[in-house]
Amino acid sequence: MNGHFRLIANTNSKDFQICLIGDFDEDAARQLLATLERGMESARRVTVSTNCVSGIHPSGPAALARGLGKMDCMAPKVHFVGENADRIAPKGSVLFMV
């Protein structure tokens, strides 16, 4: 992929919201995992929006699944929403298709 990716993170009260924008590859997954590690300890729920993802490289979801597997006590709090949620979220994740 061409490396065009960014994410926007927002915290309100006990919710942590992340919007993925651009191409989701292994580097993007690592960036998402680092953001999750920094922000999700105090959050009761984390919502990851996938509506603005323009492309998905197979290495992205695979890297995300490996990383979330290592954070298994926190992973159930992560909810994936949007039109690309089923293509990015690891198996067994909470999905909301909007």
CATH number at residue 19: 3.30.750.24
Q: In angstroms, rounded to a whole number, what is the distance separating the alpha carbons of residues 2 and 59?
A: 14
Q: In angstroms, rounded to a whole number, what is the distance separating the alpha carbons of residues 11 and 97?
A: 22
Unique residue bearing structure tokens 């984390």: 46
For residue 68, give its domain range: 5-96
The pLDDT tens digits of the residues spanning 23-47 come to 999 999 999 999 998 877 778 889 9
Split into its structural domains, the chain has a count of: 1
pTM over 0.85: yes
When the pLDDT of each residue in the chain is averaged and rounded to a whole number, the result is 88
68-77: average pLDDT: 72
Q: What is the DSSP string of 4-15?
A: -EEEEEEEETTE
